[in-house]
């Protein structure tokens, strides 16, 4: 693929600060999470995109729904001693940390991201660089009074945006770096997490490592980025964030197969947070391909790349050039909140009348289609978040990590997943119909890889 195309995206989260009374096991989870480095700590977290700062200041976050919050992103640079934060982020990050502390939520800073991973490889490539990089990370954590650091390296020994440095030894060097960070007096006390692909870290031969258990001794948790599994870069329309793909005609990765892959490689389930998406991919699909004869939406229809719909804050046919010098067009991405403000969804998050809505029982995700614009939307809603919450609980995972917190609308998504996690816990651990769990997981698809195109302006 000519990798995506992610240009500036505007937020439209309107009213995301409804409080709810302190109750529920979330608060029990939060209380426990404050005891650091307990590897069984339940995780209710999201990333906060620093570039949303003026539209969605940290005070608007519904802090009481989360145990941790991660500010995105600080970027790697060609100089290992420098981890950069743009001017806006430097301004907003202190407010973010203060707000988090006032709400007893742990604050983390994420280093990397889709566009910020260019120089991870060289930063950890030699013993002397690792020592310098440890110092840089510790200085950043100390300066901003952070509780933790998230490493969002996309990806060790696997190309991401297109012009990242990569090396055979990336994963081994990353581990050595994390081990050294843990030996530092400040680093030993930090919460350390990593945002990871649906496949375990790539080893020297570029294929997923068979044993990643050493990483679980130095990281508190990983967040599996189970989104952008299908998108504008795919051969057909498909689910952005499939819960399951074992029932799919064209498996490309899912929560079920990703958890299976990571746990089979020795990463404990109770240190894995499932990455969940508060955003949608859109596609231009002809009505003949989009709609079955019985009126439901077709799954995996062909779409027209040349007519890529403009996403939230984009214009049709817009062009640009990414950091690697590659031409880009509209991404077609919409925040969940922008699906509401653009009339795809009602205020309560259900499909607007006049659109065709179908729920794919395999991926456990919804699709929408506007016949007049021929726009198909692959997204997540309260129903798919409830299914994911149940899966998280029934699979014994640490919790969830949402990309991103400002994409929710009136807390519809976070409320749904929290409620499902709590409910699944209070009733039964037996998976019920329609709720895939590890017990039904297959061997992971060998094609499960790489399309995590996390957006960043």
Ligand X SMILES: *[C@@H]1O[C@H](CO)[C@@H](O)[C@H](O)[C@H]1NC(C)=O
Name the residues that contact ligand X, by CB under 6 A: 23-24, 79-80, 103-104, 122, 125-126, 129, 292, 294, 296, 343-344, 346, 348, 350, 352, 354-355, 370, 372-373, 422
Task: Tell me if 234 sits within 8 A of 196, measured CB to CB.
Answer: no
3-state helix, strand, coil in the chain (%, to 5): 30, 20, 50
In the complex, minimum distance from the CB of residue 391 to ligand X, in angstroms, rounded to a whole number: 20
Cα-flanking dihedrals φ and ψ of residue 389, to 5°? -60, -40
Smaller CB distance to ligand X: residue 125 or 237?
Answer: 125
In the complex, minimum distance from the CB of residue 76 to ligand X, in angstroms, rounded to a whole number: 10
From the list 33, 31, 47, the residue with the least C-alpha distance to 398 is: 33
Measured distance CA(74)–CA(231) in Å, rounded: 26
Please give the radius of gyration of the chain, using alpha carbons only, rounded to the nearest integer: 20
Smaller CB distance to ligand X: residue 355 or 401?
Answer: 355
Provide the strand spans (E) within 203-305.
221-224, 272-277, 279-284
In the complex, minimum distance from the CB of residue 103 to ligand X, in angstroms, rounded to a whole number: 5
Smaller CB distance to ligand X: residue 129 or 341?
Answer: 129
Smaller CB distance to ligand X: residue 297 or 453?
Answer: 297
Smaller CB distance to ligand X: residue 68 or 226?
Answer: 68
Measured distance CA(227)–CA(411) in Å, rounded: 20
In the complex, minimum distance from the CB of residue 395 to ligand X, in angstroms, rounded to a whole number: 21
In the complex, minimum distance from the CB of residue 118 to ligand X, in angstroms, rounded to a whole number: 12
Smaller CB distance to ligand X: residue 317 or 320?
Answer: 317
Smaller CB distance to ligand X: residue 258 or 421?
Answer: 421
In the complex, minimum distance from the CB of residue 100 to ligand X, in angstroms, rounded to a whole number: 11
Residues 6+ apart with CB under 8 A from 435: 387, 390, 391, 394
Task: Tell me if 216 sits within 8 A of 175, measured CB to CB.
Answer: no
Smaller CB distance to ligand X: residue 82 or 440?
Answer: 82
Task: Tell me if 336 sits within 8 A of 16, measured CB to CB.
Answer: no
Q: Is 453 helix (H, G, I), strand (E, B) or coil?
A: coil
CA angle 442, 40, 259 (to 5 degrees): 15
In the complex, minimum distance from the CB of residue 443 to ligand X, in angstroms, rounded to a whole number: 26
Smaller CB distance to ligand X: residue 1 or 352?
Answer: 352
In the complex, minimum distance from the CB of residue 88 to ligand X, in angstroms, rounded to a whole number: 25
DSSP labels for 140-190?
HHHHTT-SEEEEE-S-TTS-SSS-----TTHHHHHHHHHHHHHHSTTGGGS
Q: Is 433 helix (H, G, I), strand (E, B) or coil?
A: coil
Smaller CB distance to ligand X: residue 426 or 439?
Answer: 426
In the complex, minimum distance from the CB of residue 262 to ligand X, in angstroms, rounded to a whole number: 28
Residues 6+ apart with CB under 8 A from 302: 236, 237, 285, 286, 289
In the complex, minimum distance from the CB of residue 132 to ligand X, in angstroms, rounded to a whole number: 7
The torsion region of residue 134 among left (phi > 0), alpha (psi -120 to 50) and beta comes to: alpha
In the complex, minimum distance from the CB of residue 287 to ligand X, in angstroms, rounded to a whole number: 12
From the list 166, 134, 187, 210, the residue with the least C-alpha distance to 444 is: 210
Provide the strand spans (E) within 184-336.
191-196, 221-224, 272-277, 279-284, 320-321, 327-328, 334-335
Q: How many helices (H) and strands (E) does the chain have?
A: 11, 16
Smaller CB distance to ligand X: residue 127 or 321?
Answer: 127
């Amino acid at each position: 693929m000519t990798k995506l195309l992610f240009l500036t995206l505007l937020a439209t989260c309107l009213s995301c600060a409804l409080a709810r009374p302190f109750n529920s096991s979330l608060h029990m989870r939060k209380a426990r999470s404050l005891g650091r480095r307990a590897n069984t700590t339940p995780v209710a977290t999201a990333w906060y995109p620093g570039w949303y700062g003026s539209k969605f200041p940290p005070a608007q976050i519904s802090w009481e729904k989360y145990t941790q919050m991660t500010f995105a992103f600080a970027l790697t640079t060609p100089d290992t001693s420098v981890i950069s934060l743009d001017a806006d982020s430097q301004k907003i990050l202190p407010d973010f940390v203060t707000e988090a502390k006032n709400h007893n939520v742990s604050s983390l800073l994420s280093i990397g991201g889709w566009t910020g991973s260019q120089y991870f490889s060289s930063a950890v490539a030699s013993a002397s660089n690792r020592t310098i990089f440890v110092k840089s990370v510790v200085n950043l954590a100390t300066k901003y009074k952070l509780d933790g650091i998230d490493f969002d390296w996309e990806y060790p020994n696997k190309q991401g945006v297109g012009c990242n440095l990569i090396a055979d030894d990336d994963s081994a060097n990353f581990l050595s770096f994390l081990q050294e960070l843990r030996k530092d007096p400040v680093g030993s006390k930090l919460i350390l997490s990593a945002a990871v692909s649906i496949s375990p870290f790539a080893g020297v031969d570029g294929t997923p490592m068979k044993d990643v258990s050493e990483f679980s001794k130095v990281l508190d948790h990983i967040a599996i980025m189970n989104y952008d599994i299908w998108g504008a870069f795919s051969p057909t329309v498909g689910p952005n964030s499939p819960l399951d793909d074992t029932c799919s005609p064209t498996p490309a990765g899912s929560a079920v197969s990703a958890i299976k892959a990571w746990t089979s490689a020795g990463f404990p389930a109770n240190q894995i947070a499932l990455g969940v998406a508060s955003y949608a991919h859109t596609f231009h699909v002809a009505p003949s391909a989009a709609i079955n004869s019985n009126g439901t939406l077709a799954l995996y229809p062909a779409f027209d790349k040349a007519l890529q719909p403009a996403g939230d804050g984009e214009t049709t046919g817009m062009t640009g050039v990414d950091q690697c010098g590659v031409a880009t067009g509209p991404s077609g991405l919409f925040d969940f909140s922008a699906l509401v403000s653009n009339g795809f969804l009602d205020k309560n998050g259900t499909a607007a009348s006049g659109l065709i809505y179908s729920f794919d029982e395999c991926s456990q995700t919804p699709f929408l289609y506007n016949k007049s614009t021929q726009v198909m939307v692959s997204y997540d809603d309260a129903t798919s978040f409830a299914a994911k919450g149940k899966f998280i609980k029934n699979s014994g995972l640490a919790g969830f990590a949402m990309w991103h917190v400002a994409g929710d609308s009136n807390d519809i998504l976070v409320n749904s997943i929290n409620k499902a996690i709590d409910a699944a816990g209070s009733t039964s651990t037996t998976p019920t119909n329609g709720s895939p769990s590890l017990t039904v997981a297959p061997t992971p698809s060998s094609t499960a890889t790489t399309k995590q195109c996390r957006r960043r302006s």
